[in-house]
Amino acid sequence: MATTTRQRTGWSIANVVVAIYALIPVLWLLSLSLKDPSTFTDGHFIPRKWTFDNYVSIFQVGGFLRPLVNSIGIGLISTLVAIVFGTFAAYAIARLQFPGKRLMLGASLLIAMFPQVSLVTPMFQIERQIGLFNTWPGLILPYITFALPLTIYTLSAFLREIPWELEKAAKMDGATPFQAFRQVIVPLAMPGVITTAILAFIMCWNDFVFAISLTSSNRARTAPAAISFFTGASQFEDPVGSIMAAAVVITIPIIIFVLIFQRRIVSGLTSGAVKG
Amino acid sequence: MTDDGETRQPRDETRAEADIPAPAAGPVAAATGAATATVPNGARRAALSEGRRSERRLGWLLCLPAAVIMVVVTIYPIVYAILLSLQRADLRFPNDNKWVGLTNYVTVLTNSFWWHAFAITMIVTVISVAVELVLGMALAMVMHRTLLGRGVVRTLALIPYGIVTVVAAYGWRYAWTPGYGYLANVLSDNSAPLTQQAPAVGIIILAEIWKTTPFMALLLLAGLAIVPDDLQRAASMDGASTWQRFTQVTLPLMKPAILVALLFRTLDAVRIYDNIYVLTNGAQGTSSLSILTYHNLIGGLNLGIGSTMSILMFITVAIIAFIFIKGFGTAAPGSDNAGRR
């Protein structure tokens, strides 16, 4: 009994340490974003004068809505395309025998490891020549490319775990192959597909290198890149409040995602990356 | 590649069949065995290859869209980058384009900026990955073993992973900026760590560690889940201490997971860009290879030099990946068919 109590205390302390580790920097962002500009430089962790002006101003003056819409749109389209094509490939890799399978996996791995900056130089030039520079497709294409290896690896790990004999059983019970697939396999595969979609979306949402080098205005610039271009009211003013408010705004969706899908993200990351 | 696939296929197929548990597998395997015995060899091969050929076609067809996108978006630009790297291509002097052979490579490789950025990148990579491995292992243990509130702990630990790197980096930047930050005030009066090289690199490493330790921990958690509890209990009955159990039982079994985590994180750290861009933008000699390459391209509009750096960075990453995969053999994902069913 004594050991269990001690163990329980020990783990509880560990939990608190983890909580502090994860939350302090996030609370700091929140605190700065809520500070009145006159109290920015007081260095206090908890704001002395609260205000929502920073949030109002990024949308009214800063034009943050457009980058936010860009981020959501580009992220969703890239995720969707990557998931559809990635699922095809993952199904083939998990279920079918064909030469070139290892080549496909190897190429995906290679691309996952690619230094994005290495692609920036040629893509900058190619996109300017074919008119994709500073457009949605100009960002969607590289995002799909980097999301594909992730979806292929994670999903093929998921698909391997599905008991495929069920499909055979359904067919024996008189289902057509499509019915068997649609009613047995799809529901089983869905959680994996959703997890993978979340991971892919987080990746696109997080990107910065492509977002700042392949865009030149708010036409296609995504939220993280737009934040880095915020300017203060005057040349000498640091736009702390705006940056922090925007930072909190683009953090909220991710925190909601994490809260809802925590279990799935954990299993998705762990099964995909290690067993793959 | 084709040959390789051909020779491996039969073995894979037998394994696939053997792996199916359940009653279905028995008769099927037996039937195949019987067919082998009775049907003449040639006829059987023809019959099999018909089914196999359509399976092959379907496999290729399904992989095609993904493969096309990946090739068009990466292979084509890389070839283009190689061509650019052999030219004098400076957007400020568009009429001066010409082939210069390996001159750009000589220019970059004899330049101290390149080697300085190389050193900074390696320092950041080695220190952050080493610290992350230790911290990540501790975090994975907490996530794995904690009794109360496991979901809460896992959710909290995932938050840094979800936060946009640029956002996190701004948080750290203002935390260390004198006047604004709670950390700058803690240190000493009005010191500005981000304006000095060594402290700035330290903060870059700190920001990197904070952001990616949870990712490392998740990969390690998967490894921990593989270690059977029975083995731990048996070792503990044999009188092994907690530390002995960790080093003698847990660690060896986790080796594949550790290697994958190290590989992923190392390659990711070598590409470091966002953190440095926000924290110092490469000032005070804190440029990483990515920052330097980017500055030459977008800032300097020098496509030739920028491409040369891109290619050299690609080679650096490839060498690191090669060392990992050679050194660790089958541990690399995709290097074998382990776990296939």
Cβ contact, residue pair B222, A269, below 8 Å: yes
The answer, yes or no, to whether residue A106 has pLDDT greater than 60, is yes
Residue B68 pLDDT class (50, 70, 90 cuts): very high
Residues 173-212 of B with CB under 8 A from A: 174-175, 179-182, 184-185, 210
pLDDT one-digit tens code per residue, A123-153? 888 999 999 999 999 999 999 999 999 899 8
DSSP secondary structure string for all residues of A115-164: -HHHHHHHHHHHHHHHT-TTSHHHHHHHHHHHHHHHHHHHHHHHHHHS-T
Cβ contact, residue pair B153, A113, below 8 Å: no
Q: How far is CA A138 from the centre of its chain?
A: 18
CA distance A167 to chain B (A): 12
| Number of continuous H segments (helices) and E segments (strands) in chain B | 16, 2
A128, A130, A131, A134 alpha-carbon torsion, rounded to 10°: -50
Query: What is the average pLDDT value for chain B, to the nearest integer?
Result: 79
Which of chain B's residues have a Cβ under 8 Å away from the Cβ of A33?
Answer: none
Nearest to A99 among B6, B148, B310 (CB): B6
CA distance A1 to chain B (A): 15
List of residues 6+ apart from B304 with CB closer than 8 A: B84, B85, B87, B88, B89, B90, B100, B104
Which regions of chain A does DSSP assign to beta strands (E)?
none
* Average pLDDT of the residues in A7-34: 86
A71: tokens are: 């981020």
Which residue from B88, B90, B114 is spatially nearest to B299, judged by alpha carbons? B90
What pLDDT, on a 0 to 100 scale, did the predictor assign at position A186? Answer: 83
The answer, yes or no, to whether residue B301 has pLDDT greater than 80, is yes
Which residue from A218, A54, A220 is spatially nearest to A135, judged by alpha carbons? A220
Which of chain B's residues have a Cβ under 8 Å away from the Cβ of A160?
Answer: 339-341
Residue A86 pLDDT class (50, 70, 90 cuts): very high
* Average pLDDT of the residues in B279-298: 88
Rg (CA), chain B: 27
* Average pLDDT of the residues in B220-224: 85
Cβ contact, residue pair B66, A88, below 8 Å: yes
- What is the third-level CATH fold of B112-291? MetI-like fold (1.10.3720)
What pLDDT, on a 0 to 100 scale, did the predictor assign at position B31? Answer: 40
What is the C-alpha to C-alpha distance for residues B316 and B19, in angstroms, rounded to an integer? Answer: 40
Query: Considering the entire predicted model, what is its pTM?
Result: 0.83
Sign of the dihedral defined by the CA atoms of residues B184, B190, B194, B200, in that order = negative
Query: Any chain A CB within 8 A of the CB of B281?
Result: no
Which of chain B's residues have a Cβ under 8 Å away from the Cβ of A100?
Answer: 1-2, 5, 59-60, 63
Nearest to A270 among B210, B218, B340 (CB): B218
The answer, yes or no, to whether residue B8 has pLDDT greater than 90, is no
What pLDDT, on a 0 to 100 scale, did the predictor assign at position B30? Answer: 39
What pLDDT, on a 0 to 100 scale, did the predictor assign at position B244? Answer: 85
What pLDDT, on a 0 to 100 scale, did the predictor assign at position B176? Answer: 86
List of residues 6+ apart from A51 with CB closer than 8 A: A34, A35, A36
pLDDT one-digit tens code per residue, B85-130? 998 888 878 777 788 888 889 989 999 999 999 999 999 999 999 9
Q: Which helix (H) or strand (E) holds B54?
A: helix B41-70
Residue type, A142: P
The answer, yes or no, to whether residue A67 has pLDDT greater than 90, is yes
What pLDDT, on a 0 to 100 scale, did the predictor assign at position A68? Answer: 93
What pLDDT, on a 0 to 100 scale, did the predictor assign at position A122? Answer: 86
Which of chain B's residues have a Cβ under 8 Å away from the Cβ of A13?
Answer: none
What pLDDT, on a 0 to 100 scale, did the predictor assign at position B188? Answer: 63
What pLDDT, on a 0 to 100 scale, did the predictor assign at position B28? Answer: 39
Q: Which residue does chain A place closest to B289, by CA atoms? A: A117
What is the C-alpha to C-alpha distance for residues B318 and A252, in angstroms, rounded to an integer? Answer: 36
A79: tokens are: 């995720």
Is there a domain that residue A40 lies in?
A: no
The answer, yes or no, to whether residue B46 has pLDDT greater than 60, is no
Range in A261-270, B186-195, B302-311 with the lowest mean pLDDT? B186-195
Burial B112-145 (b: 16+ CB within 10 A, else e): eebeebbebbbebbebbbebbbebbbbbbbbbbe
Higher model confidence: residue B47 or residue A43? A43
Q: How many CB atoms lie within 10 A of CB A62?
A: 22
A129, A134, A137, A141 alpha-carbon torsion, rounded to 10°: 80
DSSP secondary structure string for all residues of B96-115: G-EE-TTHHHHHHHT-HHHH
Cβ contact, residue pair A266, B219, below 8 Å: no
Q: Residues B132, B219: contact at Cβ < 8 Å?
A: no
Q: Residues B160, B171: contact at Cβ < 8 Å?
A: no
Query: Any chain A CB within 8 A of the CB of B134?
Result: no
Query: What is the average pLDDT value for chain A, to the nearest integer?
Result: 85
Query: Any chain A CB within 8 A of the CB of B290?
Result: yes
The answer, yes or no, to whether residue B49 has pLDDT greater than 80, is no
- ipTM exceeds 0.90, yes or no: no
Domain spans, chain B: 112-291
What pLDDT, on a 0 to 100 scale, did the predictor assign at position B23? Answer: 38
Q: Considering its fold, how many domains does chain A have in total?
A: 1
* Average pLDDT of the residues in B250-271: 87
What is the C-alpha to C-alpha distance for residues B14 and B36, in angstroms, rounded to an integer? Answer: 13
Residue B39 pLDDT class (50, 70, 90 cuts): very low
CA distance B32 to chain A (A): 18
Best residue of A98, A168, A259 to probe chain B, by most B CBs closer than 10 Å: A98
Q: How far is CA A206 from the centre of its chain?
A: 6
Cβ contact, residue pair A153, B334, below 8 Å: yes
What is the C-alpha to C-alpha distance for residues A208 and A145, in angstroms, rounded to an integer? Answer: 15
pLDDT one-digit tens code per residue, A180-238? 888 888 888 888 888 889 889 989 999 999 999 899 988 899 999 998 888 765 555 67
Is there a domain that residue A207 lies in?
A: yes
Which of chain A's residues have a Cβ under 8 Å away from the Cβ of B306?
Answer: 121
Which of chain A's residues have a Cβ under 8 Å away from the Cβ of B52?
Answer: 97
Cβ contact, residue pair B289, A99, below 8 Å: no
B42: tokens are: 């040639």
What pLDDT, on a 0 to 100 scale, did the predictor assign at position A3? Answer: 58
What is the C-alpha to C-alpha distance for residues A123 and B297, in angstroms, rounded to an integer? Answer: 11
Beta bridge partners, B303, equal none
List of residues 6+ apart from B259 with CB closer than 8 A: B324, B328, B331, B332
Counted across chains A and B, CB pairs separated by less than 8 A come out at: 332
Higher model confidence: residue B192 or residue B276? B276
What pLDDT, on a 0 to 100 scale, did the predictor assign at position B3? Answer: 41
CA distance B38 to chain A (A): 25
Residue B190 pLDDT class (50, 70, 90 cuts): low
Which residue from B117, B107, B108, B109 is spatially nearest to B282, judged by alpha carbons? B117
Residue B33 pLDDT class (50, 70, 90 cuts): very low
Cβ contact, residue pair B62, A88, below 8 Å: yes
Best residue of B28, B137, B163 to probe chain A, by most A CBs closer than 10 Å: B163
Query: Any chain A CB within 8 A of the CB of B148?
Result: yes
**% of chain B residues with pLDDT over 70:** 79
Q: Residues B8, A97: contact at Cβ < 8 Å?
A: no
* Average pLDDT of the residues in A71-91: 94
Round to the nearest angstrom and report the end-to-end CA distance of chain B: 22
What is the C-alpha to C-alpha distance for residues B3 and B14, in angstroms, rounded to an integer? Answer: 18
* Average pLDDT of the residues in A241-255: 88
Domain that holds residue A161: 64-270
Is there a domain that residue A223 lies in?
A: yes
Is there a domain that residue A123 lies in?
A: yes
pLDDT one-digit tens code per residue, B135-150? 999 998 888 877 677 7
Q: What is the CATH number of the domain that holds A179?
A: 1.10.3720.10
Nearest to A25 among B84, B210, B267 (CB): B210
List of residues 6+ apart from B12 with CB closer than 8 A: A97, B337, B340
What is the C-alpha to C-alpha distance for residues A40 and A32, in angstroms, rounded to an integer? Answer: 7
Cβ contact, residue pair A41, B219, below 8 Å: no
Which of chain B's residues have a Cβ under 8 Å away from the Cβ of A26?
Answer: 159, 163, 171
What is the C-alpha to C-alpha distance for residues B216 and B264, in angstroms, rounded to an integer? Answer: 9
